[in-house]
Structure 1
């Protein structure tokens, strides 16, 4: 494996925590409550939600309810988020319950840090919810530097302050340094990974990269010459529940089809991990 490794670059969603399980449970709970309380069929809600997610570039859009056309028409002049507050409560409650680290993630990262390894996280998820998950799972300060997408846009006249209910001091990370990649930059982008390594003064041969996506993570690491580890335990695309994410995702139809049609063996990971702690063997 060449030179001794001194930096771990890790994906977050479905690599350190089960993002899909938390998203599916929370989003499904919200949809069910919305449909029951509004009388709008779930299929119609899903069809109206996807263009909003595509416009905002995320499936975690905080102002979603206020932009769903059928809900707006049903409650004007009031705001849907006010009328259907219980649906949002269901969303947030399920997210809190279901967001947790995979086994041995915290112990593995602390072990690496104790041995002088720099821990960097790189995710496509937006800044706010990534920070929330890092704090919720106890990784603030365990991760040295976080690279994420910036937060999504909001409609003209809507400020982020109007969406936040807690004291301002409760937002943001306390110890992990948070840096943003360029808006609209998506994996796999080898130049971003190269820039991350330059930022921390590391060469490709110094690093290990772990992620659950063959297309986005493994192929990107390989193109840069970084030792890649595939978090195969985080793959969920085969589950029936994943079709909900496809139906409401911000991904384009081409993105969805590319992921669905990827033949087995086209991208072959250098190392396959059945658990996160397997990365210890690479150091």
Structure 2
């Protein structure tokens, strides 16, 4: 029997459309190296402080986390956030410079998305990243023209240090394309994918999901009854970079144990399709 015709692609973002680890880790460590010199503090102390902030917000990309680090608050006690940011401006510029040089879409992502859309396939993204980081990357990569909607975690409750309103920051971005989900809507909960399908008016059997993580993305898609495509190319992570990521990440012991549990559940799981080398291989799921 032929499989049902597909009309919806749900794609992961990080390490599926672009290499998140290879851009973020060098960028955050450029910020750390620059900031420690400004502050005159030990690198390990600053890393510990940043990880503490990330864990409080359960977000390794918490906006301007440096301003909430204990060493920064102690060093600049009594100064307004705008002044503290000014004094640390070169650290933020170092992060932005490194990000500019490294953040790129994987080869073939744009033409593949455009080809799907030209065939009447709806393209939406689902990510565990939070609102501000997601919008920033989509804008930098020009993805807003290629994706119909993005489902992400709800934004952090934070104030821009320059007191810039969010409406001004989003002035040139189609904010209606972003749907913020409850912080508890985490992978690999299949109900999240089923809710996305329902919101898009597409039955699960007519959807395709692509992601780089077997225990989170693919296990979730299989549980939801959605055709799964494993972006194997995105799972090849530099181990040195990954160790540095763990060192500053928001992951708790409970998060790591949860990850181990789903790795065990995913063992021996049959993947519907494997994208070995590039994103364009997802087209096979729509043949």
Report the TM-score when normalising by structure 2.
Answer: 0.89
Give the structure 1 partner of residue 143 of structure 2. Answer: 139
Give the structure 1 partner of residue 23 of structure 2. Answer: 22
Give the structure 2 partner of residue 186 of structure 1. Answer: 186
CA distance in 2 between partners of 1:259 and 1:81 (Å): 36
RMSD of aligned alpha carbons? 2.3
CA distance in 2 between partners of 1:166 and 1:187 (Å): 27
The answer to whether the 8 Å contact 2:30/2:91 transfers is: yes
Alpha-carbon shift at residue 127 of structure 1 (Å): 1.0
Give the structure 1 partner of residue 104 of structure 2. Answer: 100
Give the structure 1 partner of residue 272 of structure 2. Answer: 270
Cα displacement string for residues 160-180 of structure 1 (whole angstroms, at most 9, x for unaligned residues): 474549991654633871111
Report the CA distance shift for 1:9/1:167 in structure 2 as closer, same or farther (over 3 A): closer
Give the structure 1 partner of residue 207 of structure 2. Answer: 207
Are 1:253 and 2:248 counterparts? no
Alpha-carbon shift at residue 217 of structure 1 (Å): 0.6
Give the structure 1 partner of residue 67 of structure 2. Answer: 66
Please give the secondary structure, in 1, of the residue aligned with 2:3.
coil
CA distance in 2 between partners of 1:124 and 1:30 (Å): 23
Structure 2: runs of 5 or more not aligned:
none
CA distance in 1 between partners of 2:97 and 2:166 (Å): 16
CA distance in 2 between partners of 1:89 and 1:2 (Å): 50
Structure 1: runs of 5 or more not aligned:
none
Larger mean Cα displacement after TM superposition, 251-260 or 195-204: 251-260
Report the TM-score when normalising by structure 1.
Answer: 0.90
CA distance in 1 between partners of 2:46 and 2:269 (Å): 36
Q: How many residues align?
A: 279
Larger mean Cα displacement after TM superposition, 241-250 or 231-240: 231-240
Relative to its length, the structure with more helix (as a share) is 2
Give the structure 2 partner of residue 11 of structure 1. Answer: 12
Within-5 A mapping of 1:14-93: 14-78=15-79, 79=81, 80-93=84-97
